[in-house]
Amino acid sequence: MFKRLLFIVLAPVLILSLSNKSVAQTAKHTQLIQLSGIVVDRDSVQAIPYVAILVKRSSGGTIADNNGYFSFIAVPGDTVLFQALGYKSNSYVVPDTLSTDRYSLIHIMARDTTNLKPFVFYSWPSKEAFKSAFLKLDLPDNDLARARKNMALAARHARYADARSPGTNYLQTVQQENDKLYYAGQYPPNNLLNPIAWAKFIQAWKDGSLNIQ
């Protein structure tokens, strides 16, 4: 009778103690960590941009920015996979002995260089097809046809001579973009009523440097 009474008195206390222990263990296992860091190259120690970061447990993750920086929520003991084009994929295990809710690291990745075999492209599927097309080629053998071909080539060269260089096209494009940003929200100036522009136009007309295309 005494044992039964003692059990009735101590049972709630025992159940409450076990419950608190279970809650503490659950809270420990579900502790959330703000995992932040930067991914760098092993040889140059330069940041690796846009690295894919995957948490193996939850299949979640994030992508590093253009400076290699990342930050996301993880759980102690998680295995984090790092993948980037041109680098060997590797992983990192979040320590399960952390006493804070924040953790930072510098993750290092090694380059993965793959040498591809050379591949030669041919304009014909086989040597026989090339031989057949070459024998059937109708070459102009009269003076008029050759003259027309040469004149067409000369016209192309003339157009190439008048064409602007890539550097000039680049500078003109950059200048146009700068003008758009400079005059954003307002009307750009109109040189039709600009006396300085008219003076330059007349001077170029007189000295023969005016080029109208």
| CATH class given for the domain over 31-109 | mainly beta
pLDDT of res. 67: 92
Region 182-189 average pLDDT = 76
41 beta partners: 109
pLDDT of res. 79: 93
- Contact of 53 with 64, CB cutoff 8 Å: yes
Q: Write down the domain spans for the chain.
A: 31-109, 120-163, 177-207
Higher pLDDT, 6 or 82: 82
**pLDDT tens for each residue of 89-111:** 999 999 988 888 999 999 999 99
Residue 90 and residue 47: Cα distance in Å, rounded? 16
Work out the pLDDT band at 7, boundaries 50, 70, 90.
very low
DSSP 50: S
pLDDT of res. 15: 43
pLDDT of res. 11: 44
Work out the pLDDT band at 58, boundaries 50, 70, 90.
confident
- Residue 163 sits at φ, ψ, to 5 deg, of -70, 150
Q: What angle do CA 199, 205, 209 make, to 5 degrees?
A: 110
What's the Rg (C-alpha) of the chain?
A: 38
* Average predicted confidence (pLDDT) for the chain: 78
pLDDT of res. 212: 61
